[in-house]
Amino acid sequence: MVQMLQSSFLPAWMAIQSISDIFGFHSPAVPRFNPAEATIQSVHRALLANISSPETRLTCREVVTAFLTQIETYNPRINAIISLDATSLSVADELDAWLQDSLEDDSDTPKDNSNSWSDITSLMPLYCIPVLLKDNIDTANLSTTAGCAALSGSPPPAHDAPVVKALRDAGAVILGKTNMHEMALEGLTVSSLGGQTLNPYDTTRTPGGSSGGTGAAVASSFAVLGLGTDTVNSLRSPASANGLFSLRPTRGLISRAGVLPVSYTQDTVGPIARCVWDLAVSLNVMTGGEWFDERDNMTALRPRHVRGLDYTASLSKYQGEYGGESLLGVKFGLIEGFMNRADNSETTPVNKAMCAMVCKLKKAGAIVIPITDSMYNSTAILGLDVQAYEYREMVDAYLQGLHGEESRSPRTMASLYSEIDNQEDSFLVIPHQYPFIQSALVSSPLNVSYAQKQLAINALTLSVKRTFSSLNLDVLIYPQQQNLPVRIGSRNQYGRNGILAALTGNPVVTVPAGYSNRDIFRNIPSGVPIGMEIMGLPWEEETLLSIAARIEALEKIRTPPILKAKKRKGDYGKWIENTPKVVPDRKNIHSMYPLGLYRVN
């Protein structure tokens, strides 16, 4: 009965919200560009319109200004941004000037403007695309803090990370850095520098993590896409919790150089976006540079057949079309051991969403085979996690390479967690992580148990390949999280299933699978998002993205959050002379997460 009332009231309630937007003391100005739910293609279509008329065409500066206004308006409530790049508007101006020069070249020769634009986007496939970065990825003009207040005074790195350089070379505009779970060690997205990031769909819940700031920001249309990292769940958890798409690539496909590390065995870098197409474009860009990066020898594993692949080539036919039998004959293995069949308010919505998704897949012609092998138990597999052995040495090497002897910033993991100079807020470790930090401080890859776990990981990897081969599967599927993303103040982000791909190195695309029930009385007007992981075999990102695009085309599942501004709504058409400053809310950290401690006193 309550659900029926909510369903009947929702259209009227949303109409009231729309009226409020118009008459509720907000600016009546109509912007030339609306950043809400913008994609690479929609931004480029807007820029192409009237491209032959310098007086009336949309500029890159206007596009970037619209996203900065979106951040200025809604970030005070969501708290997803740690810092903004002061050069973003000047970069937009440079792109506008470059476009004007390109259009004026050979101006005496008649040209088809659409062909000119195609030439431009072939040179710069991310031309004027606003991007946000997780704050453990190096940029040469912003400090890399990983959300840790002790690193907030660190000098900026000398160089952009290779993935950032690739984005800039492709025409992207880096807007700034997003909050993350401190040092990328958990999935609550709370940090001593950035405070607690809120889930834009339900602000009583976390946005997943550790790349939760990127997930919440992209869901809130603060950028077209974002970059995150993934050691166990950290790209896929925020995508799932925010109704987004993400790609954890095969380990070695994208260089991890210039990223504050956690684990050599498990770390990856990847995109979070609002559609599969944007994942594919960004993957093209990030894999298009030097084939081997000596700073990350895992890139030596790249096979020759994936060099120069256009990951968008097979996706065009699925754009904007819903329904049909596009999955005819595709074999999915549904991992039953990654489901929690308990009937309660946290798990039941996930089970219903997965059941509905399986029905859609079968209707589209897919074959779904239940996988009941007892080895697929995420809790048991988590016991093979090797982060604690690798973390200290990797963090020490990164900090010492980043900071010179004269730097006052911590140069080792031990100094980061101990030399706090009476600053009780210089770092944050949630109590659930205390044993991890204590273990990491004394562990290394020389431990006998490390070698034993690596052997077990090799056996797990072989067993996964055997599952694919014995059943002739194309992909494995399962919910990213067995329950809804946890509430703020929870002990940890329990119930996630990301460990399997993290250890085996297999690629995964996360797609929206559904939402929990809407509850307008609890301020959850869209429901809480639920995501599904699609795991393929190593180096088969092309196939994986194609299947994800076909699933995306079955039905439009993603619904944007209904955002509320803390202050007066921004004027999206105003001229911004300088990039606005963002001050993270560090006072919203739950009392469950004391600052400056990593052990019980």
Question: Which residues are the active-site residues?
Answer: 134, 210, 234
**Residue 354 and residue 506: Cα distance in Å, rounded?**
22
H or E segment and range at residue 352: helix 348-363
**Residue 94 and residue 91: Cα distance in Å, rounded?**
5
Site of tokens 């072939």: 122
- How far CA 535 is from CA of 68, 152, 476, in Å, comes to 35, 36, 5
Closest to 43 measured CA to CA, from 199, 217, 172, 178: 172
- How far CA 160 is from CA of 136, 170, 194, 274, in Å, comes to 12, 14, 22, 25
SS3 at position 141: coil
> Running DSSP on this structure, what letter comes out for residue 504?
H
- How far CA 136 is from CA of 387, 395, 435, in Å, comes to 16, 11, 23
Six-digit token pair at 458?
């090799």
SS3 at position 257: coil
| Phi (first) and psi of residue 191, to 5 degrees | -150, 160
What's the full length of the chain, in residues? 601
Can you count the helices (H) and strands (E) in the chain?
Answer: 17, 13
Contacts of 524 (CB under 8 A, 6+ apart): 201, 202, 516, 518
Closest to 149 measured CA to CA, from 492, 487, 421, 438: 421
Count the Cβ atoms, other than its own, within 10 Å of residue 300: 11
**Residue 386 and residue 450: Cα distance in Å, rounded?**
7
**Residue 411 and residue 396: Cα distance in Å, rounded?**
6
Buried b (16+ CB within 10 A) or exposed e, 420-453: beeeeebbbbbebbeebbeebbebeeeeeebeeb
